[in-house]
């Protein structure tokens, strides 16, 4: 019963969010998108994203090596 109530609450919340978002309109959407794009294409953010990806790839390679050692 609790799960049903939780899902109904979540559905109601999603419906309300959709309704308010639809009222804001395309203009507001474009403003938000422009702001996100400005941050996303900032050189400092690009550099940080590149560094994070390199670290993630190194961590993946290290974890793969460790898993192969354990699996032997």
Quick count: other Cβ atoms within 10 Å of Cβ 14?
10
Q: What pLDDT was estimated at residue 16?
A: 84
Q: Does residue 65 share a domain with residue 48? A: yes
Q: Is the pLDDT of residue 72 over 70?
A: no
The structure tokens listed for 12 are 């109601």
Residue numbers of the domain that contains 69: 43-72
Q: Does residue 36 share a domain with residue 2? A: yes
Residues 6+ away with beta carbon under 8 Å from 65: none
In angstroms, rounded to a whole number, what is the distance separating the alpha carbons of residues 17 and 12? 9
What is the residue-averaged pLDDT of the chain?
88
In angstroms, rounded to a whole number, what is the distance separating the alpha carbons of residues 72 and 66? 10
pLDDT tens figures, 15-48: 888 887 777 777 877 888 899 899 989 999 999 9
Number of domains in the chain: 2
Q: Does residue 36 share a domain with residue 47? A: no
Average pLDDT of span 50-60: 96
Q: Does residue 36 share a domain with residue 52? A: no
Q: Does residue 49 share a domain with residue 25? A: no
The structure tokens listed for 38 are 């400005």
| pTM for this predicted structure | 0.52
Q: Does residue 47 share a domain with residue 36? A: no
């Amino acid at each position: 019963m609790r799960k049903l109530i939780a899902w109904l609450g979540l559905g109601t919340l999603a419906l309300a969010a959709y309704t308010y978002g639809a009222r804001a309109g395309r203009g507001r959407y474009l403003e938000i998108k422009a702001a996100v794009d400005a941050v996303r294409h900032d050189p400092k953010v690009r550099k940080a994203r590149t560094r994070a990806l390199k670290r993630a790839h190194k961590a993946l390679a290290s974890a793969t090596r460790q898993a192969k050692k354990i699996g032997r």
